[in-house]
Structure 1
Amino acid sequence: MIRRRPLLTLGAATVALPAGLLAGRAVHAAALVGQPAPDFSLTDTTGKTVRLSQFKGKPVVLEWNNPGCPFVRKHYQGNLQSLQKTYTAKGVAWLAINSTRDDSADYLPPPQLARWMTDQGASPTATLMDEDGTVGATYGARVTPHMYLIDALGVLVYAGGIDSIPSARAADIEKATNYVRQGLDELLAGKPVSKSTSLPYGCSIKYRNGTA
């Protein structure tokens, strides 16, 4: 088991948190909220090439995923599966992206990752492999789950945490404000997203270059 540094960084302040909890650190990335989302092409767990731009005309969710992370497992206790099922049925494209480097203890090869997703009852539009971390770095994804919303015009309109309570306790899900649900409901109603950023929380992504 890899020990994850228990630090949450808020501006210049550092606050101790339970082991395994990390918040996203500021990075220089090509993806900026309010700007067109950078296009990318990745293969899914079946080897099929999936391109972000093929979903233009519909909202898109990007979900950074790592089954080895307790925060991911928390949200796969019924929460993420429900969101995926609800919103893909409404025409939203949901892309789960795994940027874990292939020599990490948390890495799952595509067939195993696909099996894990199936076992969870997950139903994203695609589960994508980003072992070299290029797409994760472009979007500044730092943790799992790190969430992004893209509107039907291809503009990045949200980046941050899945909800408002940064914990690994499943009991907190019902008490939290789910920013992904809130943002998608606003997009589907033709409204602007009222909260465009929040502090992401979860486990650090194990990038190949070791920067996370």
Structure 2
Amino acid sequence: MLQRRPLIALGASALAAPALLHPRTVHAAALVGQPAPDFTLEDTAGNPVTLSRFKGQPVVLEWTNPGCPFVRKHYSGNLQALQKAYTGRGVVWLAINSTEDASADYLTPPQLARWMQEKNAAPTATLMDDEGRVGQAFGARVTPHLYIVNAQGVLVYAGGIDSIPSARVADIDKATNYVRQGLDELLAGQPLSKPTSLPYGCSIKYKG
């Protein structure tokens, strides 16, 4: 098994524990307020999905890895509820797995599709990025790492799913969910009150 490196991004506390930062997870991030990098990835059924085809709709990008305890925490029901609530309101939700195929956490497309089905997940599509190019273009560092792209194709949120960086399911209800807050503001035609936050989770196992 490869060693899983949890990354808790918490400002001073993260700086106090630099060993948690894997050097391959540090990339130049796409900038909030700028057009989101376009991409085409295959979903778990092998169909190409292109970000720009959804222009005119808000899009959530969710970096995921079922081997990560932070991902499993939020797939206890939290992420499924968000996916169902907002895809029902016209939001496109793309779950992206950038885990390299040499990692112990890697799931083949059928395995990943089966895991999502078992969890009753409801993203618009689950995409494979095992080369890591899309994750690196967005500067995705951890799972889960969340982004919101507005209907004009501009990146308006990048960061953590919520305000409590733990793997405890009990903390979900206590936390401020930044993705829900941001989507509600976006759908109401309001600027996002918190366009960025520090993500937390397991470092992405990028190729190379």
- TM-score normalised by the chain length of structure 1: 0.91
SS in structure 1 of the partner of residue 15 of structure 2:
strand
How many angstroms does 1:27 deviate by?
3.2
Distance 1:114 1:165 in 2: 28
How many angstroms does 1:11 deviate by?
6.5
- For the 8 Å contact 1:8–1:15, the answer to whether it is kept is no
Distance 1:183 1:196 in 2: 8
Q: Does residue 1:72 correspond to 2:71, yes or no?
A: yes
Which residue of structure 2 lines up, in the alignment, with residue 109 of structure 1? 108
Which residue of structure 2 lines up, in the alignment, with residue 157 of structure 1? 156
Which residue of structure 2 lines up, in the alignment, with residue 14 of structure 1? 15
Q: Which amino acid aligns with 1:100?
A: T
Per-residue deviation, residues 129-181 of structure 1 (Å, max 9, x unmatched): 00000000000000000000001111000000000000000000000000000
How many angstroms does 1:12 deviate by?
9.5
Distance 2:34 2:190 in 1: 17
Which residue of structure 1 lines up, in the alignment, with residue 203 of structure 2? 204
Per-residue deviation, residues 154-211 of structure 1 (Å, max 9, x unmatched): 10000000000000000000000000000000011011111010000000000002xx
With over 3 angstroms needed to count, the CA separation of the structure-2 counterparts of 1:54 and 1:6, relative to structure 1, is closer
Distance 1:190 1:72 in 2: 30
How many angstroms does 1:100 deviate by?
0.2
Q: Which amino acid aligns with 1:2?
A: L
Distance 2:21 2:165 in 1: 8
Distance 2:47 2:5 in 1: 35
Which residue of structure 2 lines up, in the alignment, with residue 2 of structure 1? 2
How many residues are paired up?
206
Greater RCO, 1 or 2 (C-alpha within 8 Å, sep 6+): 2
Distance 2:3 2:141 in 1: 16
Q: Which amino acid aligns with 2:106?
A: Y
Which residue of structure 2 lines up, in the alignment, with residue 138 of structure 1? 137
Q: Which amino acid aligns with 1:75?
A: H
Distance 1:205 1:13 in 2: 16
With over 3 angstroms needed to count, the CA separation of the structure-2 counterparts of 1:143 and 1:104, relative to structure 1, is same
SS in structure 1 of the partner of residue 16 of structure 2:
strand
Distance 2:107 2:119 in 1: 15
- TM-score normalised by the chain length of structure 2: 0.92
How many angstroms does 1:5 deviate by?
3.8
With over 3 angstroms needed to count, the CA separation of the structure-2 counterparts of 1:131 and 1:172, relative to structure 1, is same
Per-residue deviation, residues 41-69 of structure 1 (Å, max 9, x unmatched): 00000000000001100100000000000
- For the 8 Å contact 1:21–1:203, the answer to whether it is kept is no
Gap regions ≥5 residues in structure 2: none
Task: Give % identity.
Answer: 72
Q: Which runs of 4+ in 1 moved over 2 A?
A: 1-17
- For the 8 Å contact 2:7–2:200, the answer to whether it is kept is no
Which residue of structure 2 lines up, in the alignment, with residue 39 of structure 1? 38
Q: Which amino acid aligns with 2:142?
A: V
Which residue of structure 2 lines up, in the alignment, with residue 27 of structure 1? 27
SS in structure 2 of the partner of residue 95 of structure 1:
strand
